[in-house]
Amino acid sequence: MTAGLLDQGLTTYVMLLLLGAVMTEPWRWAGVWLARDLDVESEVFRWVKAVSTALVAGLVARMVVFPIGALAEVAPWIRYAAFGAGLAVYVFAGRHILWGVLAGTATLLLATAWLGQ
């Protein structure tokens, strides 16, 4: 009985390792390998940086436009307004990331609390 449970527990961890770390870590190692002779002033580097920046920006936009979990219950216009407000405060109020994050989150909380869905 106990051995069975332990066995099941181990199987879960091995499966999580195969589905998680094994799918994730090789991309990082490939990055180390590909970066061997790369110069930060080179054109290739500029291009790779633009690609990774666009990719992360796309991921961010997806989290706001097509959210999961509790954020999906918040009305889309409130999510967009909060996102825009946070970014605007960051850019125009001295470029402090914390202020941008607080402004965006406060907009989300207040708009949802007062205006509902």
The nearer residue to other proteins, 3 or 98, going by C-beta atoms, is 98
The nearer residue to other proteins, 7 or 49, going by C-beta atoms, is 49
Quote the distance between the C-alpha of residue 21 and its chain's center: 18
Q: Do residues 107 and 89 touch, judged by C-beta distance below 8 A?
A: no
Q: How far is the CB of 78 from other proteins (least distance, A)?
A: 9
Q: How far is the CB of 112 from other proteins (least distance, A)?
A: 6
Look at the alpha carbons of 23, 25, 28, 34 in this order and tell me if their dihedral is positive or negative.
Answer: negative
Closest by Cα among 113, 106, 51 to 83: 106
Alpha carbons 36 and 57: distance in angstroms, whole number: 26
The nearer residue to other proteins, 3 or 27, going by C-beta atoms, is 27
The nearer residue to other proteins, 1 or 13, going by C-beta atoms, is 13
Alpha carbons 112 and 89: distance in angstroms, whole number: 19
Q: How far is the CB of 54 from other proteins (least distance, A)?
A: 3
Q: How far is the CB of 3 from other proteins (least distance, A)?
A: 18
